Amino acid sequence: MSKKVLVPIANGTEEIEAVCIIDTLRRTGAEVTVASVEKTLQVTASRGTKLVADAFIADCADTIYDCIAIPGGMPGAEHLRDCEILTALLHAQREAGRLYGAICAAPVVVLQHHGLLAGRAATCHPSFVSQLENPVHVGKRVVVDGPANSRCITSRGPGTAFEFALALIEALYGEEKAREIGTQMLVK
């Protein structure tokens, strides 16, 4: 069964994280929508790579997603944080008990900023650890918190992007599918 996943991007998004999330989830058959929060579909990522979104975030406002996965990178995470449509989608996601997650700077800059880590254990990039309100699991590469029907998944940065994407797959499709995709990609 195909799942709908939203991956928002902005100028300054960390390209390894964005592309890893998008590619890995598409390998499962997930319907991944890459949405720009900028005024153009093409964004310039944190290291100068040009990424082209499938849609503008406004086009996604009325869609229900099984997962919203937020890449980090600076100042990309700040642009994502400041997007009112994305913020509304994330709050709706949590209130409905659907999966959401973030990696690198985004757990602090986006999720925590909007109260979406309240009561959750999380991790983030080491340069943002001092800002994390619940720093219990900061050393873990990926933190999965919440009941099966309301998970929040966070991760540390570009070097943990595959693990993050596979954790999203496991939450959406189960452990066997995550293992299958990880094996195909020589990650597991």
- Which residues form the catalytic set? 104
Q: 3-class DSSP state for residue 2?
A: coil
Q: Residue 34 contacts by C-beta under 8 Å, 6 or more apart in sequence?
A: 7, 8, 9, 18, 22, 51, 52, 53, 54, 55
If one counts every other C-beta atom within 10 angstroms of the C-beta of residue 182, the result is 18
**From residue 89, how far is each of 5, 46, 63, 104, 168 by CA, in Å?**
12, 24, 9, 20, 18
How many separate helices (H) and strands (E) can be counted in the chain? 6, 9
